[in-house]
Amino acid sequence: MSKTGLIVGCGVFGLSAAVELAKQHAFDKIIAIDAETVPSSLSAANDLNKIIRPEYADIKYMKLAIEAMDSWRSKAPVSSTYHECGRLSINSKDPNRCQFDAVSQANLRKLLGETALVDLNTPDEIRQKFPAFLSNAPLNEDTSAVFNEHAGYASASDALVWMESEAKKFGVEFRYGKCGSFKRFVFPNTNSGSTASVAVEIEDGSIIQADTILLAIGAYMNAYIHTDRRVIAKGLPVAHMQLTEAEYNHYRNMPIIFDPDMAYIFPPDPKTKLLKFSSAGYEYVYNTRTRYDESIITSLPTTPSQYTEIPGYAKESIYRFLRMYLPELADRPLEKCKICWISDTSDSEFLVDKLPGTENVFIANGDSGHAFKFLPNIGKYIAQKIHGTLSTEWQEAWKWKNMDNHTTEVKWRGSQSLVDLKDVSFTPNN
Ligand SMILES: Cc1cc2nc3c(=O)[nH]c(=O)nc-3n(C[C@H](O)[C@H](O)[C@H](O)COP(=O)(O)OP(=O)(O)OC[C@H]3O[C@@H](n4cnc5c(N)ncnc54)[C@H](O)[C@@H]3O)c2cc1C
């Protein structure tokens, strides 16, 4: 009997799983659907660039990241989007972040050797390491940093498009727009003559039946499924600055500069000559009622057109960053601002499990703002979950947890100020 696999959501988890399952010939037919064409403006990964780095305090994620980085460096199609520019990580003043960095760096040195990282203990050592970019940087007297030359960034939306074409090469059928927008599950599937036990209803009114379904809709999860705080949609501010051709040539070989207390910046994008910034420490919610149950209030992503500015505090942290590291750009306007939505878990573990009460519906969610780097390999582990071969270690980490006794809070993303976007002031450039 012919078997169909349906993947709902073509972001990082969905596309990675689509490629892996298609390569394995796990189903006779794989259909992948999304509300928009790849790269969807709703995807957290629809962006100029994302950091690819191995540093994790949790050794299992570090090993997973090192495995992914082997692919970023050497395996088509994603390798064409990867740039190993190195990452300068400024040492934080936040004790939680310090702890995360200290453990991550010790782990990395244990796994890859003492020379994996370079300590830059004073402002002068930092300036001397990057004289072309940081010689004018005022830096605080107590600023120190660690440089990892074996890290970099991927051109994020390009990488999604490459993964989509790889999936097509292996026979995945894509459906986008109204005919690819998930509306709800149909339980049980009573369609006569069908062997498939579950189906989904699509916004255009059609029904897609499948033997196995993977729901990978990122921050939109709570719009359809009551996860009861297991995942929370959080918005992160992103901004850009337009460079001239001459400025692009000046900055193109700079490293990623990551200051967890302020913001981080990537080398300029070769196509658009835009510098991209994300402010660190500012995450937002947007609490609203769900469509499926008016009594449930939860954070849901805003649309890209709803906020074309970022909150004043986030902007100010980017300008503080510029005054500290690249003062020559500190009076320039920020543009193409947006709020980009992740699906956050309280312990920063992903959520890859069966949807409770079902046998053949799986979720890959809870990216917690750090899943992009796993685009080349997370699909392998999602496929293992579907086949029932995922290791106990990952099953424990990624399971649908009992929230009554689940209190773990991981603070490695630094102290977060978490406010509702509706209560935030949007000021012009600071
Ligand atoms: C500002 C920012 C910076 C980040 N930086 C990094 C970084 O440097 N390194 C890193 O590793 N990670 C980073 N991330 C995290 C990374 O982008 C996410 O972890 C990753 O994109 C999550 O993948 P996903 O597949 O769960 O969701 P997404 O990539 O968001 O994809 C979800 C998909 O579901 C689709 N969808 C939604 N609703 C429906 C529906 N009803 N029907 C059909 N389809 C639907 C959307 O269109 C979208 O394509 C960052 C995230 C943000 C926001």
H-helix or E-strand containing 73? helix 59-74
Structure tokens at 183: 């509306």
- Ligand 1 contact, 263 CB (< 6 A): no
- How does residue 1 score in pLDDT terms, banded at 50, 70 and 90? confident
Strands 256-259 and 87-90: parallel
Q: Which long-range contacts (CB under 8 A, 24 or more apart) does 286-291 make?
A: 286/233, 286/235, 286/420, 286/421, 286/422, 287/420, 287/422, 290/222, 290/223, 290/226, 291/223
Gap from CA of 317 to ligand 1 centroid (Å): 24
Gap from CA of 100 to ligand 1 centroid (Å): 24
- How does residue 282 score in pLDDT terms, banded at 50, 70 and 90? confident
Which candidate, 159, 180, 222, 183, places its Cα nearest to that of 366? 222
- How does residue 187 score in pLDDT terms, banded at 50, 70 and 90? confident
Residue 207 has pLDDT above 90, yes or no: yes
Q: Answer whether residue 111 is part of any domain.
A: yes
Residue 291 contacts by C-beta under 8 Å, 6 or more apart in sequence?
223
Nearest residue (by CA) to ligand 1, atom 13, is 370
Q: Can you tell me the mean pLDDT for 30-41? A: 98
Q: Can you tell me the mean pLDDT for 242-250? A: 97
Give me the pLDDT at residue 289, please: 95
Quote the mean pLDDT of the chain.
93
Closest atom of ligand 1 relative to the 182 alpha carbon: 42
Residue from 208, 290, 370, 374 to probe ligand 1 pocket by mutation (most atoms less than 8 Å from CB): 370
Structure tokens at 39: 């790269």
Interval 39-59: pLDDT, tens: 999 999 999 999 999 999 999
What sign has the CA pseudo-torsion 101, 60, 418, 319?
A: positive
Q: What are phi and psi of 335, to 5 degrees?
A: -140, 180
Residue 98 has pLDDT above 70, yes or no: yes
- How does residue 430 score in pLDDT terms, banded at 50, 70 and 90? very low
12 touches 364 (CB < 8 A): no
Q: Answer whether residue 119 is part of any domain.
A: yes
Residue 119 has pLDDT above 80, yes or no: yes
- Ligand 1 contact, 218 CB (< 6 A): yes
Residue 191 has pLDDT above 60, yes or no: no
* 355 against 417, higher pLDDT: 355
Q: Please count the structural domains in the chain.
A: 1
Q: What span, in angstroms and rounded, lies between the C-alpha atoms of 40 and 177?
A: 10
- Ligand 1 contact, 202 CB (< 6 A): no
% residues pLDDT > 70 (the chain): 94
- Ligand 1 contact, 280 CB (< 6 A): no
Residue 330 has pLDDT above 50, yes or no: yes
- Ligand 1 contact, 36 CB (< 6 A): yes
Q: What span, in angstroms and rounded, lies between the C-alpha atoms of 337 and 334?
A: 7
Which candidate, 147, 332, 164, places its Cα nearest to that of 247? 332
Q: Answer whether residue 415 is part of any domain.
A: no
CA neighbours within 13 Å on the CB side: how many for 70? Answer: 6
Closest atom of ligand 1 relative to the 278 alpha carbon: 1
Nearest residue (by CA) to ligand 1, atom 37, is 217
- Of the ranges 126-130, 198-202, 279-283, which one carries the lowest mean pLDDT score? 279-283
Residue 175 has pLDDT above 50, yes or no: yes
- Ligand 1 contact, 319 CB (< 6 A): no
Q: What span, in angstroms and rounded, lies between the C-alpha atoms of 400 and 45?
A: 24
Q: Return the bridge partners of 278, or none.
A: 238, 264
Q: Answer whether residue 418 is part of any domain.
A: no
Give me the pLDDT at residue 95, please: 87
- Ligand 1 contact, 301 CB (< 6 A): no
- Residue 310's domain is classified under what CATH number? 3.50.50.60
Which candidate, 175, 182, 179, 168, places its Cα nearest to that of 213? 182
Q: Answer whether residue 417 is part of any domain.
A: no
Q: Answer whether residue 422 is part of any domain.
A: no
Gap from CA of 128 to ligand 1 centroid (Å): 37
Q: Can you tell me the mean pLDDT for 388-412? A: 83
In order, the DSSP letters of 328-339 are GGTTSPPEEEEE
Which candidate, 149, 146, 137, 164, places its Cα nearest to that of 12? 164
Q: Answer whether residue 346 is part of any domain.
A: yes
Gap from CA of 11 to ligand 1 centroid (Å): 6
Give me the pLDDT at residue 162, please: 97
DSSP H helical ranges for 170-311: 245-251
- Ligand 1 contact, 10 CB (< 6 A): yes
Closest atom of ligand 1 relative to the 39 alpha carbon: 49
Gap from CA of 343 to ligand 1 centroid (Å): 8
- Ligand 1 contact, 34 CB (< 6 A): yes
Ramachandran region of residue 73, left (φ > 0), alpha (ψ -120 to 50) or beta?
A: alpha
Residue 170 has pLDDT above 60, yes or no: yes
Q: At what angle do helices 59-74 and 378-387 cross, to 10 degrees?
A: 120
Q: What residue numbers bound the domain in which 359 lies?
A: 4-405
- Ligand 1 contact, 16 CB (< 6 A): no
Residue 192 has pLDDT above 50, yes or no: no
Q: Answer whether residue 354 is part of any domain.
A: yes
Give me the pLDDT at residue 429, please: 46
Beta strands in 203-328 (DSSP E): 207-210, 212-215, 232-242, 256-259, 263-265, 274-279, 282-285, 287-289, 297-299
382 touches 12 (CB < 8 A): no
Q: What span, in angstroms and rounded, lies between the C-alpha atoms of 164 and 161?
A: 5
Give me the pLDDT at residue 418, please: 74
Residue 416 has pLDDT above 60, yes or no: no
Give me the pLDDT at residue 348, please: 94
% residues pLDDT > 90 (the chain): 84
Gap from CA of 341 to ligand 1 centroid (Å): 7
Interval 128-162: pLDDT, tens: 999 999 998 999 999 999 999 999 999 999 999 99
